[in-house]
Chains A and B, each alone.
Chain A
């Protein structure tokens, strides 16, 4: 049965944790990391919908987030649109863009799909790097200040509240979406596209639908990050960023809402902790990814399953 506007204890707990966190932040740097982690988590939730539920890999989402952010920023900074309307225009443009490319690209499968999305991502990155009259080239550009209906965002705490609320709303929407007929439909596509097609589901249509949703989410989060940091460079749209996002989703656990969130938070915070290791940072980071993929190929969310299974087993033993 479809439960409408399902709010469960997880959402309440998450809101509580998010609300309490700022009391433990000694300075602005912590806010910066927290906001980056939240925005990455938001992109990862969208990407997880595409990868974990609809079963389509994308190695280009960093570039989509970056391009969306650039469009918002250029409109707001160079053409003096209000930030909200520039983000809206960017969303509309990116949605059309995603829809157009989704048709040929989502016909591809496996490695070919991965390479196709990667190719588009790299082309976007090269364009952003080369058109320096509009984008400022490799040096990046500074960004106009952000405001909603005249209310200016200056303090980190304002940004934190905005991003944290967005995260809660998106998780709530996501939970409802995957429990809805639409969510079941997506999982049927994930399990077998042919079987889904044979029972009358328009598979290509729904695949591009999900692709567009995930690109829109990436656009919003990317734009917010650019406005928050007051600066944007093509690094945002780089191959490395796209890879990071996919790694976050898989690291956390494909097809799990909180998996993507944990993956994003851990892999955003971890490099900050690893900077203490200085030159060993990259080596250790790579090592951790290898370790998790070898011993927990279903992501760190599978630790949770492990303990739940154990509990279940104990329960059943008691019953017998």
Chain B
């Protein structure tokens, strides 16, 4: 029983990271209809730049802020590139974001290196004991910060004027433009928010799993699985999808085989696509974002 509980706990921790990546997908998808395959690289950029800013001798807090800023700049750069694109056909935009992901991995190799890097846990190395299972402070931090981000996003999209404008733009671009909403600004904001969420995920995860230039590939794909499992476009869908994936993965790694751990996300993804393509939240006529 203790074992099971321990697996679930570690699954929840990872699950919230998938949630953060999935949320990043959701925000961009809702605003522009684009699936951003470089979302995982945003996560990598967040973790890697924090690690190297720390090496450069900057204090922890400054490194975080700078890393988040750098990643949001990368997000905005992607948006600019996409807006340059002559025809917006789905497949060429998918390839564009894939190319961007490759370029970011290449850039990380040049600026940083190919080694594994880690950053010290910023809330101390200690841990709690809950019913015999241990939960490190860092894991607790991941859970708390993720929950705060989810609710902050919800509040932002539903209560603030800018958030409402973004919702309107995702619903009907032309109508929103006629209402005097600056679509370009909205898109920039969306890509920046998405990158910020991803980079926070990267920074939070790095003390636990460490990071390198390739870490984004799997994280990005699993985050996307989380978003689809929950129902593409739903804020709480991404949360549910992320948690389901994280917990299942941890259980499979513990009880079945650690080799097939990575397959879990894709098996669940296929099951969802085949049997309930709208995702878990897809059938509810819930409001998007």
A129–B259 touching, CB < 8 Å: yes
Is A126 engaged at the interface, CB distance under 8 Å to the other chain? yes
Q: Which of B94, B106, B232, B257 contacts A284 (CB 8 A)?
A: B106
B70-109: CB near A (< 8 Å → 1, else 0) gives: 0000000000010011110111111110111111111101
Q: How far does the alpha carbon of A281 sit from the alpha carbon of B102 in the complex, in Å?
A: 10
Q: Is the CB of A247 within 8 A of B98?
A: yes
> Of A122, A129, A251, which contacts B95 at CB under 8 A?
A251
Asked if B260 is an interface residue, CB under 8 A from chain A, the answer is yes
Query: A254 to chain B: which residues have CB within 8 Å?
Result: 91
CB of A114 within 8 Å of the partner chain: yes
Q: Which residues of B contact A197 (CB under 8 A)?
A: none
CB of A115 within 8 A of CB of B96, answer: no
Q: Given the complex, which residues of A lie within 8 Å of B101, measured CB to CB?
A: 286
Q: Are A297 and B90 in contact (CB under 8 A)?
A: no
Contact in complex: A123, B263 (CB < 8 Å): yes
CB of B266 within 8 Å of the partner chain: yes
- In the complex, what residues of B have CB within 8 A of residue A288's CB? 99
Q: Is B69 an interface residue (CB 8 A)?
A: no
B92 touching A287, Cβ below 8 Å: no
Return the chain A residue nearest B222 by Cβ.
A122
A285 to B109, CA, bound (A): 13
Residue B224 interfacial (CB < 8 Å): yes
Q: B98 contacts which chain A residues (CB < 8 A)? A: 243, 247, 289
Smallest Cβ distance from B39 to chain A, in angstroms? Answer: 13
Q: Compute how far the CA of A115 lies from the CA of B90 in the bound complex, rounded to whole angstroms.
A: 14
Residue of B nearest to A291 (CB): B99
Q: How far is the CA of A115 from the CA of B274 in the complex (A)?
A: 12
Q: Distance in Å from the Cβ of B271 to the closest Cβ of chain A?
A: 10
Shortest CB-to-CB span from A134 to chain B, Å, is 14
* 1/0 contact string of A107-142 vs chain B (CB within 8 Å): 010111011101110110011011000000000000
Say yes or no for B262: interface residue by CB 8 A criterion: yes
Provide the main secondary structure of the chain A interface.
Answer: helix
Contact of B102 among A122, A285, A295 (CB under 8 A): A285
Contact, CB under 8 Å: B270 / A120: yes
Q: Count CB-based A-B contacts (< 8 Å).
A: 125
Are the CB atoms of A293 and B95 closer together than 8 Å? yes
Whether B274 lies near A280 (C-beta < 8 A) is no
**A295 / chain B contacts, CB cutoff of 8 Å:** 86
B85 pairs with A115, CB closer than 8 A: no
Task: Assess the A247–B99 pair: CB atoms within 8 A.
Answer: yes
Which B residues lie within 8 Å of A126 (CB)?
259-260, 262-263
Which one of A114, A129, A293, A297 has the highest number of Cβ atoms from chain B below 10 Å of its Cβ?
A293
Considering the chains assembled together, what is the distance between the CA atoms of A239 and B221 in angstroms? 10
B219 at the interface (CB under 8 A from A): no
Indicate whether A283 reaches chain B with its CB closer than 8 angstroms: yes
Q: Is B148 an interface residue (CB 8 A)?
A: no
> Given that A286-B106, A289-B98, A290-B103 are known contacts, is A108 also in contact with B260, CB under 8 Å in the complex?
no
User: Is residue A279 within 8 Å, beta carbon to beta carbon, of the partner chain?
Assistant: yes
CA distance A289 to B102 in the complex (A): 9
Q: A293 with B106: in contact, given A122-B263, A126-B259 (CB under 8 Å)?
A: no
With A108-B277, A297-B85 given, is the CB distance from A283 to B106 under 8 Å? yes
B140 contacts partner chain A, Cβ-Cβ < 8 Å: no
| Chain A 287-317 per-residue mask, 1 if CB under 8 angstroms from chain B, else 0 | 1111001110110000000000000000000
A37 to chain B, nearest CB (A): 20
Task: Answer yes or no: B35 CB below 8 A from chain A CBs.
Answer: yes
Query: Smallest CB-CB separation from B83: which chain A residue?
Result: A294
Residue B110, interface by CB 8 Å: yes
Distance in angstroms between the alpha carbons of A5 and B221 in the assembled complex: 45
B23 lies within 8 A of chain A by Cβ: no
Question: Most B CB atoms within 10 A — which of A282, A290, A295?
Answer: A290
Q: A57-B91, A289-B102 are in contact. List 4 more A-B contacts (CB 8 A).
A: A115-B273, A247-B95, A254-B91, A283-B110
Can you give 28 A-B contacts (C-beta < 8 A)?
A: A112-B228, A112-B273, A116-B269, A118-B221, A120-B270, A123-B270, A126-B259, A126-B263, A130-B259, A239-B217, A247-B98, A250-B91, A279-B109, A279-B110, A280-B106, A282-B102, A282-B103, A282-B109, A283-B109, A286-B106, A289-B98, A290-B81, A290-B99, A293-B93, A294-B84, A297-B85, A297-B86, A298-B92
Q: Show the binding face of A for B, using Cβ within 8 Å.
A: 51, 57, 104-105, 108, 110-112, 114-116, 118-120, 122-123, 126-127, 129-130, 239, 243, 246-247, 250-251, 254, 279-290, 293-295, 297-298
Of all A-B residue pairs in the complex, the 6 with the closest CB atoms, nearest first, are A286-B103, A283-B106, A282-B106, A289-B99, A286-B102, A119-B266
